[in-house]
Amino acid sequence: MSLEQTKQNKVLVDINAQGVAIVTLNNPDKHNAFDDEVISQLTEIFTTIANNENVRVMVLASNGKSFSAGADLNWMKRMAGYSYQENLQDANALANMLKILNFLPVTTIAKVQGAAFGGAVGLVSCCDIAIASSKASFCLSEVKLGLIPATISPYVVNAMGLKASRRYFQTAERFFADKAQHIGLVDEVCDPQELDLAVDKVIATLLQNSPAAVKQAKQLAFDVAYQPVNDDLLAETSKRIAAIRVSDEGQEGLTSFFEKRPAAWINK
C-alpha cells in the first residue's frame, strides 16, 4: 500500500491509499506537550485534511509513552509574561485549532495510549471516537496552576457531560481509562497491545460506508443536537433524507443492497 508521508517538525502526517490520515504528535521526550508552534502546525494540517476530498478517516495519535501532557512548560512561562491582549491572541489560536478539529467533515478517531492532561483532553473530546489503552489516564489539571480549562471546555463538557465536568474541572483529579469510558470521554478501552487492532477495526467498519453519507451523518448530528422537535426540524430532516436517496451514492447504496453486491465505494 502506497503511503504519502509528511513531516512537519513535531507532527507527522501519513495518508494512505484508502484515504486514512494518521496525524501523530511526535515529541515524546516532552510527552508530546504542545505550544504555539504545534498549535499552528495542527491548524494547518487539520485544514488541509478538511479540504482533501480523498481523506475519509483521520486518526489522531502520538508517539512515546504519553498521548500529550498538554501545554509545554516553556510556552506557559512565556505566556505568564504576556499582556492580556497577547494572551487573548494566543488563546484564540488554540480555540480556532480545536474548532477546526471538532468540525472536520471526516470521521476522527483519538488513539490514546497514555496520559492525556490539560489541553490534550480537549483534543480527545473533539474527536468523534476515542479509543484508549487501559493504561491511559486523564487530568484536567488547570486549576492546580491557578488557571481554568476555558478553550477546551465546550468540547469536554459535550463529551463528559455537565456533572462530570463540574467535578473534574474543580478537583483536577487524575482518572483512568475505565472512568473515562464510564463518563463518556472514551468510547472503548482495550489492552495496550490491542490498541492498534481496535483502531484498525473501527477504520475498517467506517470504510464500508458511503463516504458522502458518513460526512452528512456527522453534520446531521451537529445540526439536530439539542434542537426542539418542531415542524421546521421535521421538514429539514425530511429534505435531507430525500436528497441523499436520489444522490449518486444513495442510489448506488440502495441498488447494491438489493442486488446483493458490494457498493462501489468498498475496496476502491
Q: pLDDT band at residue 3, thresholds of 50, 70 and 90?
A: very low
pLDDT at residue 7 is higher than 50: no
pLDDT for 82 equals 87
Residue 78 pLDDT level (bands cut at 50, 70, 90)? confident
Mean pLDDT of 142-147: 93
The per-type count for the chain, helices as H runs and strands as E runs, is: 11, 10
- In angstroms, how far is CA 164 from the centroid of its own chain? 20
The pLDDT score that the predictor gives to residue 76 is: 83
Give the neighbor-by-neighbor strand order of the sheet with 174-176: 115-117, 137-139, 174-176
Nearest Cα neighbor of 32 from 60, 70, 58 is: 70
Please indicate whether residue 72 or residue 52 has the higher confidence score (pLDDT). 52
Mapping DSSP onto H, E and C, the string for 151-220 reads CCHHHHHHHHCHHHHHHHHHHCCEEEHHHHHHHCCCCEEECHHHHHHHHHHHHHHHHCCCHHHHHHHHHH
Summarize the confidence of residues 195-222 as an average pLDDT.
97
Q: Which three cell numbers stand for residue 94?
A: 488554540
Percent of the chain with pLDDT over 70: 96
Q: Give the per-residue pLDDT at 109.
A: 98
Residues of 9-39 as b/e, b for ≥16 C-beta within 10 angstroms?
ebbbbbbbeebbbbbbbbbeebbbbbbbebb
Of the listed ranges 5-19, 21-35, 107-121, 132-146, the least confidently predicted one is 5-19
Over residues 191-200, mean pLDDT: 97
CATH architecture of 3-207: Alpha-Beta Complex (3.90)
Mean pLDDT over 244-261 rounds to: 93
pLDDT at 202 over 80: yes
pLDDT band (50, 70, 90) for residue 267? low
pLDDT score at 77: 83
- As a whole number, mean pLDDT of residues 1-19 equals 72
How does pLDDT run across 209-252, given as a tens digit for each residue?
999 999 999 999 999 999 999 999 999 999 999 999 999 999 99
* CA 240-241-245 angle, 5° bins: 120
Q: Per-residue pLDDT tens for 80-96? A: 888 999 999 999 999 99
- pLDDT exceeds 90 at position 65: yes
Q: pLDDT band at 195, cuts 50/70/90?
A: very high
Q: Radius of gyration of the chain from Cα atoms? A: 20
